[in-house]
A and B are shown apart, each in its own frame.
Chain A
Amino acid sequence: MRPIRKVLIANRGEIAIRVMRTCRELGIATVAVYSEADREALHVRTADEAYLVGPAASRDSYLRQDRILEAAKASGADAIHPGYGFLSENPDFVRACEAAGITFIGPPASAMEAMGEKTRARLHMIAAGVPVVPGTEDAIDSAEEARRVAESLGLPVMLKAAGGGGGKGMRKVERWEEFDAAWRGAKSEALNAFGNEAVYIEKFLEEPHHVEIQIFGDRHGKVVHLNERECSAQRRHQKVVEETPSPILTPEVRAAMGEVAVKAAKAVDYVGAGTVEFLVDKYRNFYFLEMNTRLQVEHPVTEWVTGLDLVAWQIRVAQGEPLGFDTVPPNGHAIELRIYAEDPAQNFMPCPGTIRYLRVPGGPSIRDDSGVFPGYTVPTVYDPMISKLSVWGPTRDEAIARALRALDEYVVKGITTNVAYLKAIVDHPVFRGGDYDTGFLARESESLLKGGNGEHEEIALIAAVVHAFEQDRALAQTLPKSSATQASPWKLAGRAAALRR
């Protein structure tokens, strides 16, 4: 057992800060890496040391394995935490860390390789007796072959990129007329996102729920599961709201899925935190979708209902400690909301800009994981996620009430956010009812994007006029007495007003 003394976090934004927080609590020194665009980012001044790794573009900075390893050597870091995204599922990076004598906080390269290429992962799972979504084992070469496979599966089908996930290179085909365009589109998007245009096909399940199981393994062969997360609230295959427990699982199905997830992880000798994703159909049949060999964005909800600090356990496991916990039933209910700098009314166009004012909710069982601060300029070159707001309640209804209350307290000025959209989701009868599939957000988008009902318009009017009145009063008090030789009060007032902006 070799205690880790200093961790370099090869990431940025909220996840870098989240990892640094646990390191700090464990008495472990932290090293940040940053791009030129991130010099003023919060994660830089949260760490004990910081090293520049390149210009703004990720491929020139956060994806530069050589520069990150240089920073690790220069700082004397004995471990690297990759966060999520970036190099977190890159087996070459794992091997480079090993060669440099630096502990990679995550699974071994072999496990990443086994699960990283999606068609190979399916093969592994089939061999291990794990139920998978009906589809092809290999990537398909030609459009003709693809059509033949789709015919045998029956429409609708999903075309998916073999080289990676995250919703890229995915197309749903519901009608034969769409097939060729979808095939071409999926391949080109896959090539762009992963440098690999290989596409495979799966049957599209009706009203599927995306339910994933958190697993954890240590270096001594023990693997346990930490229950599920319901992640069906997705827009364009990107998760927006996550919760645990899943309102549609029974304890029996949870146990069965957990068992299968542990089997999947053991089949690849998994170490560390990982997530096995499943699709669950309306009959509660579950099928392996893919495995993510890293810590996930939505891990806080699991931390809420288990009381565990998953990053702390990632570090302990990396140090060679045995897993100090077993599967326990989830305690209470947790919901996470992803807050983005985007404008839902403008087709969710990203709205980077400067945060002029920020007030984050507080009170019982509220958690905000963010990388922003008042005055921070959200850069255009990275993902526009501002923060993850998660809440806990003893029951699902209480967690929902708490989420709504917290969202009401969230004030962000200077940029547009999706806070009102998130409120509409959590308050929606379908969400409240607990049975929503991956088509929910798209299907209900009109009602979710509808504005307010004008309930407090008169109050808004009164407040706006009072505010304007007070601004004009203050302005009038700053103007000097006019004289023939001085600038006109109109000009001065205009200048003063312009300066206030």
Chain B
Amino acid sequence: MRYYATLPGKTEPTIVEIELVAEGRYALTIEGKRHEVDARTLPHGAVSLIADGRSYNVELEKVEDEVAVSVRGQTVRLDVANERRRRLRAAAAAFSAEGPQVVKAPMPGKVVKVLVAPGDTVQQGQGLIVVEAMKMENELKSPKDGVVSEVVASEGQAVESGAKLLVVE
């Protein structure tokens, strides 16, 4: 089976071919290089991996669309997609930008400052709104390039976790 794994800092995914050799044994081909490993997937997102006699305890955790993978104290975020998911994504992208993006409050707090207005053109990563919670201020950034279509929140407003603040299309 083929998987597309995007490593941090890379725009193009690494293509990985994986084959079940026997129960618990896998052959993977990464960029032309073949690896045979002994791996057991354990409950709660752990993988016990033995590669060339070296043993690794790998902890995995789904974080939004990615998976956070920790090995020997180092954590890397990967995006791993199978063929089907990659095709679905490509199809969605063809209709340009994954539709309206709702910016929500990450936790209960108070809106301190609204930095944009409906109709403003924004870039991905641009600051949209500042929310204060647990005595910390947090500036929420635009998830994509687009136009602010809706601003629901107002300065001074108290918000619940997950509350819709504004929409970028």
Task: Report yes or no: A347 in contact with B138, Cβ–Cβ below 8 A.
Answer: yes
Let me know if B152 is at the binding interface, CB within 8 A: no
- Residues 16-57 of A, flagged 1 when their CB comes within 8 A of B and 0 if not, give 000000000000000000000000000000000000000000
Task: Report yes or no: B80 in contact with A465, Cβ–Cβ below 8 A.
Answer: yes
Complex Cα distance, B46 from A357, in Å, reads: 11
Q: Which of A429-480 contact B (CB under 8 A)?
A: 451-470, 472-473
Q: Which of A107-152 contact B (CB under 8 A)?
A: none
Q: Which secondary structure dominates where chain B touches chain A?
A: strand
Known: A349-B138, A413-B44. A453 touches B28 (CB 8 A): no
| Interchain nearest-CB distance for A418 vs B (Å) | 13
Known: A347-B136, A461-B5, A462-B51. A468 touches B76 (CB 8 A): no
Known: A349-B138, A461-B5, A464-B80. A470 touches B45 (CB 8 A): no
| Interchain nearest-CB distance for A281 vs B (Å) | 30
Q: Which one, A349, A460, A465, contacts B71 given CB within 8 A?
A: A460
Task: Pick the interface stretch among B52-60, B89-97, B113-121, B122-130.
Answer: B52-60
Task: Report yes or no: A501 in contact with B73, Cβ–Cβ below 8 A.
Answer: no
* CB neighbours of B62 from chain A (8 A): 501
Task: Report yes or no: A469 in contact with B51, Cβ–Cβ below 8 A.
Answer: no
Known: A380-B108, A470-B41. A457 touches B133 (CB 8 A): no
Task: Report yes or no: A463 in contact with B74, Cβ–Cβ below 8 A.
Answer: no
| Interchain nearest-CB distance for B96 vs A (Å) | 23
* CB neighbours of B157 from chain A (8 A): none
* CB neighbours of A466 from chain B (8 A): 18, 26, 28, 37, 39, 41, 47, 49
Q: Which of A294-341 contact B (CB under 8 A)?
A: none
| Interchain nearest-CB distance for A349 vs B (Å) | 6
Measured as residues with beta carbon below 8 angstroms from the partner, the interface class of chain B is 35 or more
Task: Report yes or no: B1 in contact with A472, Cβ–Cβ below 8 A.
Answer: yes
Let me know if A346 is at the binding interface, CB within 8 A: yes
| Interchain nearest-CB distance for A343 vs B (Å) | 10
| Interchain nearest-CB distance for A337 vs B (Å) | 14
- Residues 1-13 of B, flagged 1 when their CB comes within 8 A of A and 0 if not, give 1010101000000
Number of A-B contacts (CB under 8 A): 127
Let me know if B147 is at the binding interface, CB within 8 A: no
| Interchain nearest-CB distance for B135 vs A (Å) | 9
- Residues 405-447 of A, flagged 1 when their CB comes within 8 A of B and 0 if not, give 0011001011000001001000000000000000000000000
Task: Report yes or no: A452 in contact with B75, Cβ–Cβ below 8 A.
Answer: yes
Known: A460-B58, A466-B26. A380 touches B134 (CB 8 A): yes
Task: Report yes or no: B107 in contact with A461, Cβ–Cβ below 8 A.
Answer: no
Q: Which residue of chain B has the shortest Cβ distance to A474 in the bound complex?
A: B41
Task: Report yes or no: B56 in contact with A469, Cβ–Cβ below 8 A.
Answer: no
Known: A350-B133, A461-B7, A462-B35. A454 touches B76 (CB 8 A): yes
Q: Which residue of chain B has the shortest Cβ distance to A374 in the bound complex?
A: B44
Known: A350-B136, A465-B3, A465-B5. A456 touches B44 (CB 8 A): no
Q: Which residue of chain A has the shortest Cβ distance to B28 in the bound complex?
A: A462
Q: Which residue of chain B has the shortest Cβ distance to A460 in the bound complex?
A: B69
Complex Cα distance, B47 from A469, in Å, reads: 12
* CB neighbours of B138 from chain A (8 A): 346-347, 349
Task: Report yes or no: A461 in contact with B1, Cβ–Cβ below 8 A.
Answer: no
Q: Which one, A349, A408, A467, contacts B45 given CB within 8 A?
A: A467
Complex Cα distance, B21 from A15, in Å, reads: 52
Task: Report yes or no: B136 in contact with A423, Cβ–Cβ below 8 A.
Answer: no
| Interchain nearest-CB distance for A195 vs B (Å) | 16
Known: A357-B44, A380-B134, A466-B41. A460 touches B78 (CB 8 A): yes
Known: A350-B133, A501-B62. A423 touches B73 (CB 8 A): yes
* CB neighbours of B70 from chain A (8 A): 411, 460
Q: Which one, B56, B108, B161, contacts A463 given CB within 8 A?
A: B56
Complex Cα distance, B41 from A108, in Å, reads: 57
Let me know if A272 is at the binding interface, CB within 8 A: no
Task: Report yes or no: B76 in contact with A457, Cβ–Cβ below 8 A.
Answer: yes
Let me know if B148 is at the binding interface, CB within 8 A: no
Q: Which residue of chain B has the shortest Cβ distance to A469 in the bound complex?
A: B18
* CB neighbours of A349 from chain B (8 A): 106, 136, 138
Known: A380-B107, A411-B59. A463 touches B71 (CB 8 A): yes
Task: Report yes or no: B78 in contact with A461, Cβ–Cβ below 8 A.
Answer: yes
Residue among B16, B20, B62 with the highest chain A CB neighbour number at 10 A? B16
19 further A-B contacts with Cβ under 8 Å, apart from A349-B138, A452-B76, are A347-B138, A349-B106, A357-B44, A380-B134, A407-B73, A451-B74, A456-B56, A456-B71, A456-B74, A459-B56, A460-B69, A460-B76, A461-B7, A461-B16, A464-B69, A464-B78, A466-B37, A466-B39, A469-B3
Residue positions of B touching A, CB distance < 8 A = 1, 3, 5, 7, 14, 16, 18, 20, 26, 28, 30, 35, 37, 39, 41, 44-45, 47, 49, 51, 56, 58-62, 67, 69-76, 78, 80, 82, 106-108, 133-134, 136, 138, 161
A and B contact pairs by CB, cutoff 8 A, 21 listed: A349-B136, A380-B133, A411-B59, A411-B70, A423-B73, A456-B74, A459-B49, A459-B51, A461-B30, A461-B78, A462-B51, A463-B39, A463-B71, A464-B78, A465-B80, A466-B26, A468-B3, A469-B18, A469-B20, A472-B1, A501-B62
Residue positions of A touching B, CB distance < 8 A = 346-350, 352, 356-357, 380, 384, 407-408, 411, 413-414, 420, 423, 451-470, 472-473, 501
